[in-house]
Amino acid sequence: MIGTHKRKEIYAFLYRTDLIKYKENSAFVYNDSKDVFTKEPFCGSFIAGTFDFVMCTIHTEFGDGKSEPRNEVYKAVSSDKEKDILIVGDFNLPENDPAWDELESIDSIDSITSALSVETSPPTTIGDKSYYDNIWYSKYSSEVIKGSGSFFQFDELIYTPEMKAEANRQVSDHRPISIKVKIK
C-alpha cells in the first residue's frame, strides 16, 4: 500500500502478508483542513494475530517542531475501540525535545529511542548523530515488546566509512527502524 503527498513525499507500508493483514479500505492521508502539516501523515489499519493496530507514518518539517502538532495525528486515529497506535517516521526532532510533551501527556506515549544510550547506540541517520527516526506507541500496549527497538545499519554493510556521503546520495540518510510485537 502506498500513499503520496502533494510535495512528492511517498509513504509505504511494507509487511509480510503471511503474518500481517491490511484491513481493506482503512488507508487514508490525514485530513489537514487547517494546513498545519507540510507533509500530511499517511495511516492504515492492520492485524497480526491478536494484535490489531493503526500505523501512521509521517515526515515532519525540519526546524520548528511545535508547528506540526503530532498529538493531532494521535487524537485523529485514537478511539475507544483503537488503543494500539504506532506513529512512525522521520520527526526531525530527538525524542526528548519539548515538542513531544503534549503527545506524551495524552496517553503515556513512549518511543523506541527513549531507552537508547546515545553513547552506545548507533544514530538513526547515516550522516550525523541524530535520533530523528522513531516509533511512538502507548506505554500501555501489551503487544509492543518494550526495549525491542532496533536500527538496521545497512550502510555499514554496503559502504566504507569514506563513502557515507555516497550512501546519502544513492540510498538515504535514514536507517530502517523496527520494533518487535507479540502477535499470539
Structural domains of the chain ordered from first start: 2-178 (3.60.10.10)
Distance in angstroms (rounded) separating the CA atoms of residues 85 and 58: 13
**Can you give the pLDDT at residue 70?**
64
Q: How far is CA 85 from the centre of its chain?
A: 11
Asked whether the predicted pLDDT for residue 81 surpasses 70, the reply is no
Asked whether the predicted pLDDT for residue 99 surpasses 80, the reply is no
**Can you give the pLDDT at residue 55?**
92
**Can you give the pLDDT at residue 12?**
84
Average pLDDT over residues 7-12: 72
Asked whether the predicted pLDDT for residue 179 surpasses 70, the reply is yes
Q: Where are the beta strands (DSSP E) in 119-176?
A: 133-138, 150-151
| 126 touches 164 (CB < 8 A) | yes
Residue type present at position 136: W
| 178 touches 150 (CB < 8 A) | yes
Average pLDDT over residues 71-90: 75
**Can you give the pLDDT at residue 65?**
47
| Angle 52-38-176 from CA coordinates, rounded to 5° | 50
Distance in angstroms (rounded) separating the CA atoms of residues 116 and 109: 16
Q: Where are the beta strands (DSSP E) in 79-124?
A: 85-90, 109-111
